[in-house]
Amino acid sequence: MSGEHHGPAAAVAARVRHVEALLEQRGLIDAAELDRALESFVARSSPANGFRVVARAWVDTGFRARLLSEANDALPELGMSMGGGLQEQRLKVVENTEQVHNVIVCTLCSCYPIALLGPSPTWYKSESYRSRVVRDPRSVLYEFGFELDESVQVTVWDASAETRYMVLPRRPAGTEGLGEDELAGLVTRNGLIGVAAV
């Protein structure tokens, strides 16, 4: 398994590192400041953020519509963003329904909405998951203990450096009387990736 980019993504990453080095050499940016910004971003990054987003979407149809239409514009309503002081990435939220089940992957490396899901799980970065979920998503879901009816269409979304994806799971039956905090407690990171039901 390799976590490094190959092809065009590797070339872009190398250019970014080169430009950063030049900016540091010329005193235009401070490496320690960049490190602090990254540490601050990671400290605020947690699956609990994604759980809150899902819970709000389950109880607030207006928020849900805005989230599915333009997620980056909806997140600030909960005090969140996809940037955290770093370059903002585009977030697309895809909704599971009775007819369609969504799964996310990054076939190039492990691009992932860290701000909402926290650090990615080891299996998400594995070459096995990245290649197999695209070719045979039902088998991969089955290995996670999640079996879908054959009538449900499985759609796999491939994340990139520009666009990250998050799954909006189906709200579990019998949860109509629960508040947002209780609903958020039902959501899992695997549900936000699409390899589990909530």
* Of 109, 126, 139, 160, catalytic: 109
User: What's the chain's length in residues?
Assistant: 198
pLDDT of amino acid 20: 66
Residues 23, 31 contacting (CB under 8 angstroms): no
The question of whether 126 is a catalytic residue gets the answer no
CA distance 24 to 20: 6
pLDDT of amino acid 82: 83
- What integer is the mean pLDDT of 46-71? 96
CA distance 149 to 140: 14
Torsion of CA 7, 12, 13, 19, to 10 degrees: 150
**Confidence bin at 110 (pLDDT 50/70/90):** confident
The question of whether 2 is a catalytic residue gets the answer no
pLDDT tens, residue by residue, 12-25: 456 656 766 776 77
pLDDT of amino acid 194: 98
Q: Could you give the angle at which helices 61-69 and 47-59 cross, rounded to 10 degrees?
A: 120
pLDDT tens, residue by residue, 139-185: 999 999 999 999 999 999 999 888 999 999 999 999 999 999 999 99
The question of whether 131 is a catalytic residue gets the answer no
DSSP 35-48: HHHHHHHHHH--HH
The question of whether 110 is a catalytic residue gets the answer yes
Q: Is the pLDDT of residue 11 over 70?
A: no
pLDDT of amino acid 2: 30
pLDDT of amino acid 96: 98
pLDDT tens, residue by residue, 175-186: 999 999 999 999
The alpha carbon dihedral of 10, 15, 18, 20 has a sign of negative
pLDDT of amino acid 114: 86
Please give the domain boundaries of the chain with CATH numbers for all domains. Answer: 45-193 (3.90.330.10)
**Confidence bin at 1 (pLDDT 50/70/90):** very low
* Of 81, 111, 128, 139, catalytic: 111
Half-sphere exposure of 111 (CA within 13 A, CB side): 19
